[in-house]
Amino acid sequence: MSARGSRHLLGVTLALLVAGGVFVLLVLGVRSLGGLGYNPPAAAATTGASVTLSIYPDSMVCHGSTSGAPGGGPHPEWVSYCPSTSLKLPAHTLVTITVKQYDSASGLHNPFFDQVRGTVGGVMYVNGKALKQVTLDAPGHTFTIQTPPDAHETPLFVNVPLPGVADNAPNAVTVAGNQYPKPNVIVFRFRTGAPGTYIWHCYVPCGTGLAGDGLGGQDNFGGPMATTGYMSGTVTVA
């Protein structure tokens, strides 16, 4: 083969390699959208018309080592929802969500989220007591479902501010070898709409870092607040 032919062959080969690399990156990028991020390694989707979730001040229970033993997780200091952030609910059904809130209060920046919205009767039951609203500094977290852009005709919006336990509450329960205070138990009900994939999210800035004081003191929106599998996830209505 002549020198000119060799150069052409080399050029074509390099072009094919670059094009293949770009194609692989595109495929990986598109596929990553489908999963909408990271989930606890061993947690299956929480399914049914009655769902129980727990919120811990760390991620020791659900994000521990891959062997299943608590501790040594990727971010043990991050707050977390357990056992899963992928919820599967039946369509057009009255569902009951029970949240065991082990974490203390952090408070809200946005007063919109201090009111219960979208539940049956606009109420939640905190340790058996019906409440429609809490003070701005009471929530440790929120459980807020919002509608995807392609579901205009069946909007689903649920917001429940979840009061935190007292800062000085003593550890009283053991979960998977970890000590936590006695949790607030919050129960609420809402009716699901048409099938679709919704997202849910905590609107209390309970994460780490991100904005800092230089931007109006809007801090703690990073870490678990910016990573699926901790304080946000999906609700698949089917």
The residue ranges that bind other proteins (CB under 8 A) are 36-37, 109-112, 144, 146, 148-149, 152, 155, 157, 199, 201, 203, 205, 210-211, 215-218, 221, 225-228, 232
Instruction: Output the smallest distance, CB 32 to other proteins, in A.
Output: 11
- Cβ distance to other proteins smaller for residue 170 or 216: 216
Determine phi and psi for 111, rounding to 5 degrees: -65, -15
Spatial distance between the Cα atoms of 34 and 36, rounded to a whole number of angstroms = 6
Instruction: Output the smallest distance, CB 169 to other proteins, in A.
Output: 28
Residue type, 156: L
Determine phi and psi for 10, rounding to 5 degrees: -65, -40
- Cβ distance to other proteins smaller for residue 192 or 232: 232
**Tell me, what DSSP letter sits at residue 122?**
G
Instruction: Output the smallest distance, CB 201 to other proteins, in A.
Output: 7
- Cβ distance to other proteins smaller for residue 36 or 45: 36
Exposure letters 216-238 (e unless 16+ CB within 10 A, then b): eeebbbebbbebbbbbbbbbbbe
Instruction: Output the smallest distance, CB 30 to other proteins, in A.
Output: 13
- Cβ distance to other proteins smaller for residue 180 or 203: 203
Q: Which two tokens stand for residue 186?
A: 């919050």
